[in-house]
């Protein structure tokens, strides 16, 4: 057995962290996670994308037909135009209703996340590998512990692999030692549990309150836990991704001629805008901080204002 200098004189206590397999319905991870962050992603991004059937370009033309069925999901969409008023320079006002069976549930499914951890201290006996290396960045010696092995051949095999192949670019492995000993270990178990529960209202129902699955054919922004979803009023929905310049692009939209910007330059008499969707014709559609539609202004400064009332 090969040994190197002083670093072999002292016993080495290894810390082993084991992850315990999960039970049915419980997920386990290799490190503790932020439960609130996971819950925000599930409720703000994943669930709305599934319900809205986001990122499907083939759904963007639903406004041109009165009824359609998505062959992939079976979603039924019915569009009814109630009133169409011609406007100046082509800025028309069309009022219609649209039914979407995927939005027809009384409430939205929500996910709650709980996390917990437990720790147990024990002792283990086996073959432990200690590999001496030179760190090219810090210019210092160090010791790498690949882990515990139940037989000596496996221990020598992994050590020889590092010496022969030098798998890490920042290190030069020099020599190794294999010791058979009993060490203390700490076993930490991280458990993450998720629970699905119904919310009182779906987004469409809380926005328009026309009945399960029914909405007006106007665009809107669905804002869930910090995530923004754009509904174009014709059946399509897209997740908005903001870049470092706060310019929002529609995920999987396929073109770059539409973007969502932070814009406070419009007021409908009730609220100042927070967002503006700018399309290829330089028409701006303004939304409030809660995602409600406030107004539309074209490049000729013609505009339509939308005001809202709370029903008792």
Task: Report which of residues 260 and 201 the model is more confident about.
Answer: 260
Beta bridge partners of residue 129, listed in sequence order: 178
If you average pLDDT over each of 13-22, 67-76, 236-245, which comes out highest? 236-245
Task: Identify whether residues 73 and 207 lie together within a single domain.
Answer: yes
pLDDT category of residue 291 using cuts at 50, 70 and 90: very high
The answer to the question of residue 292 being in a domain is yes
Task: Look at residues 191, 215, 250 and tell me which one is the last residue of a structural domain.
Answer: 191
The answer to the question of residue 177 being in a domain is yes
| Across 2-28, average pLDDT | 35
The answer to the question of residue 145 being in a domain is yes
Mean pLDDT across the chain, nearest whole number?
Answer: 82
Task: Identify whether residues 233 and 282 lie together within a single domain.
Answer: yes
Q: Could you tell me the residue range of the domain that residue 23 belongs to?
A: 6-31+114-191
Task: Identify whether residues 223 and 262 lie together within a single domain.
Answer: yes
Residue 224 near residue 291, CB atoms below 8 Å: no
Task: Report which of residues 232 and 68 the model is more confident about.
Answer: 232
The answer to the question of residue 209 being in a domain is yes
Task: Report which of residues 83 and 62 the model is more confident about.
Answer: 83
Q: Is the pLDDT of residue 101 over 50?
A: yes
pLDDT category of residue 91 using cuts at 50, 70 and 90: very high
If you average pLDDT over each of 29-33, 114-118, 148-152, 304-308, which comes out highest? 304-308
What is the tally of structural domains in the chain? Answer: 2
Task: Report which of residues 216 and 53 the model is more confident about.
Answer: 216
**What percentage of residues in the chain have a pLDDT greater than 70?**
82
The answer to the question of residue 99 being in a domain is yes
Alpha-helix runs per DSSP H in 53-173: 152-165
- Scored b (16 or more CB within 10 A) or e, 59-98 reads bbebbeeeebebeeeebebbbeeeeeeeeeeebeeeebbb
Q: CA angle, corner 214, sides to 232 and 235, nearest 5? A: 25
Q: Is the pLDDT of residue 258 over 70?
A: yes
Task: Identify whether residues 14 and 147 lie together within a single domain.
Answer: yes
| Across 38-53, average pLDDT | 76
Task: Identify whether residues 295 and 221 lie together within a single domain.
Answer: yes
């Amino acid at each position: 057995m090969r040994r190197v200098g002083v670093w072999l004189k002292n016993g080495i206590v290894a810390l082993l962290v084991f992850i315990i397999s999960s039970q049915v319905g419980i997920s386990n991870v290799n490190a503790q996670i932020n439960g609130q962050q996971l819950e925000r992603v599930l409720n703000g991004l994943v669930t709305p994308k599934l319900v809205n059937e986001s990122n499907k370009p083939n759904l963007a033309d639903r406004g041109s037909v009165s009824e359609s069925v998505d062959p992939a999901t079976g979603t039924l969409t019915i569009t009814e135009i109630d009133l169409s008023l011609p406007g100046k320079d082509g800025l028309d006002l069309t009022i219609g209703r649209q039914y979407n069976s995927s939005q027809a549930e009384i409430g939205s499914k929500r996910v709650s996340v709980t996390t917990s951890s437990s720790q147990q201290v024990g002792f283990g006996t086996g073959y432990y590998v200690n590999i001496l290396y030179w760190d090219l960045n810090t210019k210092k010696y160090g010791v790498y512990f690949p882990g515990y092995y139940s037989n000596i051949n496996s221990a020598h095999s992994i050590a020889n692999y590092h010496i022969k192949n030098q798998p890490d670019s920042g290190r030069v492995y020099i020599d190794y030692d294999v010791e058979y000993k009993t060490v203390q270990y700490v076993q930490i178990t991280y458990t993450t549990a998720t629970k699905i529960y119904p919310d009182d209202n779906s987004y469409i129902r809380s926005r328009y309150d026309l009945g399960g699955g029914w909405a007006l054919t106007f665009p809107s922004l669905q804002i869930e836990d910090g995530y923004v979803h754009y509904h174009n009023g014709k059946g399509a929905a897209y997740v908005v991704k903001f870049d470092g310049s706060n310019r929002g692009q529609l995920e999987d939209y396929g073109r770059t001629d539409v973007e969502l910007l932070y814009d406070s330059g419009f007021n409908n008499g009730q609220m100042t805008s927070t967002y503006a969707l700018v399309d290829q014709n330089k028409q701006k559609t303004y939304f409030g901080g809660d995602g409600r539609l406030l107004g539309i202004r074209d490049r000729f400064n013609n505009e339509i204002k939308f005001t809202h009332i709370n029903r008792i």
